[in-house]
Chain A
């Protein structure tokens, strides 16, 4: 009875652990017999696929968004409205998104069995309930970014929050580049007085000293990670202009001038310029009090801006190759508390996704009449993680090949939502 689900299985932990401290031994080629084949990176990079991840931080209420229950005990004051997918209704707080639902799908039957912000977020990002695994963005960065990419593979735009360790055993090269807003990251500009010639010259000398050091040791993965931080820095410096474009009047009008609007506009630019995974965090959904007013306000920002971004990706012909996800760390309790709030709820909630590899217009699973439990097709973040990877053309049953040691990409105990895959 003690072995059914949940935490990472020990074989994963062990392969992680032997790798983590082993980083250097990567070259040693101490392989595990019978390991599954690693992902064929080369096959993927030809047709670059991308990820747009919108993270509604704090826990979006499924009842005020993708799974409304108007007229029921916990339904709250808002109506459900029809969408561009016949038969699918979503909350009236998302009128613009509703008109684009034929591009998206909904999963309404998520149960992650946790109501903890940190645990929920990690589970949704890693597809594992615990342990140190790479986030989806780092996995995308690792396997989808062409060698010639001119931007870091995983960029996260968020006004606040911690600098997570997103890449785990994949190494720092694939961890997120965190931007706090549309401004260029700090120290992007060369200081006055340093000529391009001097900068090149000293960088060459630096590389020579570094390379000599790298060649002497038994831990190439560490020195490699260090060097890649310099090459990524260089790429960013080359693309400084991306951060200097003033939005046009029309862009301002369409995306809005609030933080989420300007961040999404930057996300669009980054995706158009070859970034592999761009994540935009919209803060402020942890509505323990005044859930309805806050959702009215928050989703007002989200709905229009997200719809504009979706249109632009579609119009640029990129939606077929861009996986679009709108997710949270959990949903919100059906029960409305004394402060008109809804609390943390991982038991029965929803996300929306679409684009690359995803069947549009689908609704997966359902909750019961009052939204207090999953009624049909229960899934958790492990299933979702498999689904994202499969949609991106990555075999989620294959392994990360860590120089001979292997770690399964998705939790082997879970599977993708097949009916959602195009």
Chain B
């Protein structure tokens, strides 16, 4: 059965190595992260010689926070981790488990998938807030990737409206949607195959493009004339045919995903509608090809779908894909470590598309936990060897939340929110007690109650006290409180529909840090904030340590400690000096990267 599956699915991307499933069977007892390390290390004969040493606890602690929960840790958290005397492997794996379980992790995944699926398009047909909440809830519930993808690709904008964002943010434009389904869900950029077989990539054919296209070409954007709401309509007829602009050869294809078999329409569904398309109403066919796309995409037979996600998660954690660029999976552009990619691809299926499982295993690898510091005398190893930790520029959201964390704003806000909620709680409890003290109007006893009608408005019960120790509540209030600030970072630091992963550093970014009011404001010495906290720390060495731990997540080197103390000594205005120092660290290259 497995064999048959393999033969069926691995056709279009034949790799020179033996498929991964054999490996995973042979070493079923070996944890995935160990298998990954073995494969990475054996890929180069002198790997041990060129590999960087393991990351220090501080380096690892900052890195894994940024990757799994999207922001740097506090100074206190770093201190506690450094002081923890438990064996390294044990405390690191406990940390990984705890971070994956935290509400911030669902938020981080929301950010990552929002950027991946919508690519920062500005769109209001589906409210950003609803779409993002849908994503976050999905990750909070550990929704498997096959299910999430099926919901997104099958969406019509009516039921489960937020899931239709992928289509609606692209105005359901056929060329755009066809290309992006290929790029984002399958890792193949078929753009050039739209007008002719790909001139340089041997295994991208025009029929591949039009195979995806055929799933979607009956779908159209429908604007309800009364409500102006935009939804997806679909026709029950129409075929995809194509003519090469070069050879004038033409062909036809039914809906199909790459080299999987075409999915014929069932007999008798032609022109059959549940809702016939008119000017007043959208079309809903008896048989929906778009729904078929969703099903076929998420099907276990569709290996490229899992391979694409395995590669994307690897890139997220390791700083570059095994296949790079992420949307150029082709035989001519093989993975740097084919066996690793196959292994991860298999693991996704075996673990029912559980993304957190893969993230955990990746975080546990020695490969992930290697230092980014390279001190060898020869040139550093090529990035695709994964022999040193790679620099990852912080995303807009990581940058914003890390700056909020470093300056102490996040902590101050959290404490303020808790205090205000506690105050409300006291009032609520008092009111509830008063209510309870009143004599009951009816004698207690078993009373039959009509179950509430399903559409009845919920009873406007008095709000209940909120447990302010609830981490999910804490994350949500913080997210709401700082949404405006985070958006400022996103607007400035993100590019729309960007397909490259190159690091962009523009002078406007630097000016934002140098002269912008936001960062300046965060560095004002107000109660609880970093610059105010530092002012109370004696002696200067302790102050320096707190400064470096809070902003850079590590202790200062001896030189840095000396320089900082000297800085403080030369400036008369100590308050100003502390702001300057904090600014300098916050605006440094070290802060800008996950390293």
Which residues of chain A have a CB within 8 Å of any CB of chain B?
A: 1-10, 13-14, 17-18, 20-25, 27-30, 113, 116, 129-130, 132, 152, 162-165, 167-169, 171-173, 175, 177-178, 185-191, 198-199, 201-203, 205-206, 208-210, 212-214, 216-219, 222-223, 225-230, 232-233, 235-237
Contacts and interface: CB of A to CB of B under 8 A. Distances in A.
B413 interface: no
A186 B514 CA distance: 11
A217 B199 contact: no
Contact of A163 (B195, B381, B495, B514): B495
B89 to A, nearest CB: 25
Contact of A226 (B383, B501, B589): B589
A218 B374 contact: yes
Interface stretch (B69-77, B218-226, B232-240, B576-584): B576-584
Contacts of A177: 506-508
Main secondary structure of the interface of B (DSSP, over half): loop
Contact of B373 (A3, A165, A217, A223): A217
Contacts, number: 240
Interface of B: 175, 191-192, 195-201, 245-247, 320-321, 324-325, 328, 332-333, 372-375, 379-384, 388, 390-391, 393, 495-512, 514-517, 520, 552, 557, 560, 563, 567, 571, 576, 580-581, 583-585, 587-590, 592-593, 595
A110 to B, nearest CB: 17
B571 A201 contact: yes
B192 A236 contact: no
Contacts of A201: 567, 571, 580
A21 B497 CA distance: 19
Contacts of A210: 588-590
Which 6 residue pairs across A and B have the least CB separation, nearest first?
A218-B380, A7-B192, A233-B510, A229-B505, A28-B379, A202-B580
B502 A20 contact: yes
Contacts of B584: 202-203, 205-206, 209
B196 A6 contact: yes
Contacts of B593: 213, 222-223, 226
A209 B592 CA distance: 12
Given A24-B390, A225-B505, A186 B511 contact: yes
A201 B505 CA distance: 23
A219 B390 contact: yes
B339 to A, nearest CB: 20
B501 A205 contact: no
B379 A6 contact: no
Nearest to B552: A209
B320 A187 contact: no
Nearest to B511: A187
Contacts of A23: 383, 502-503
Residue of A1, A189, A206 with most chain B CB atoms under a 10 A cut-off = A206
A208 B461 CA distance: 59
B536 to A, nearest CB: 22
Contact of B199 (A4, A30, A152, A213): A4
A1 B501 contact: no
Given A29-B379, A175-B504, 11 more contacts: A20-B324, A21-B501, A27-B379, A113-B245, A172-B502, A209-B585, A210-B589, A226-B503, A226-B593, A229-B505, A233-B511
